Amino acid sequence: MEERPDPGDFHAARLSRTGPLFALVHAAPPAQDPAGDPEALYARREDLASARRAAEIWADRLGRDPSDFEAAWKLARARYWLGGHAPDDERKALLEAGIEAGRAAAAARPDRPEGHFWIAANMGALAESHGLRQGLRYRGAIRDALLTVLEIDPAFQQGSADRALGRWYYKVPGLFGGSKKKSEEHLRKALTYNPRSTASLYFLAETLIALDREDEARKTLRQVLDAPLDPDWAPEDREFKAKAAELLTELKS
């Protein structure tokens, strides 16, 4: 269920777009060494070695100061990415560590959405990738964390909480609270914040297929393919475009 990411992308799955923007009104500061700048390293996260190094830096900062909110949520975000891309035998531990980093962020700043969101994103990735039992274990905690994000800032990461809730309702069996109709409602709400979000559009297409509305799903998948790459989320966008192309081919066959 993952900025967002989170991903979504739970790719929820995208993902943070809330970092500060600096207006340079005086002389520009000296350039940072990319090898020691976790943001620059994370921007190159498709190279897993770069993403790992960014996570190491944030983990070191958090270890030296457990109340370091920024290090905590960015570490949770990095571990979410690694948990979806590292070798299979590493993923579960990375996502569990991502949950702990998210909890540290939420404890440091319970009034901010980042920690709550990345707790949910890492839990959602565990739920999706480790079977129904794991998913049912986390389903209540995921929903509660996302509802907390909605209470704090529903526009966070361009509607990432609604996107992740849409995925939650899609994935959870109806017997345990899932609903394809509610999935569609939350995903369409997420799209009000960014109508060209590849994650929200892709998840909506999957929900439409489950609702036996394949013509609408095809149109939605074409929107994924046509959407521009977001500079902050280009790696995630490329993945959703590839998945959309594959799913569109399956629907045509």
Which DSSP string corresponds to 57-78? Answer: HHHHHHHH-TT-HHHHHHHHHH
pLDDT, one tens digit per residue, over 199-237 is 999 999 999 999 999 999 999 999 999 999 999 999 999
Domain assignment of residue 203, yes or no: no
Helix axes 160-171, 198-210, angle to 10 degrees: 30
pTM of the model: 0.85
- Would you say residue 16 lies in a domain? no
Residue 159 located in a structural domain: yes
- Is 93 contained in some domain? yes
Tokens in use for 79? 């571990």
211 found inside a domain: no
Residue 128 lies in a domain: yes
Mean pLDDT across the chain: 88
User: Quick one: pLDDT at residue 132?
Assistant: 62
What is the three-state SS of 127-190?
HHHCHHHHHHHHHHHHHHHHHHHHHHCCCCCCCHHHHHHHHHHHHCCHHHCCCHHHHHHHHHHH
Do the domain assignments include residue 43? yes
Identify the CATH number of the domain in which residue 46 sits.
Answer: 1.25.40.10
Select from 110, 89, 114 the least CA-distant residue to 3: 114
Residue 243 lies in a domain: no
**Domain carrying residue 94:** 35-183
Q: pLDDT by residue (tens digit) across 27-37? A: 333 344 456 89
Number of domains in the chain: 1
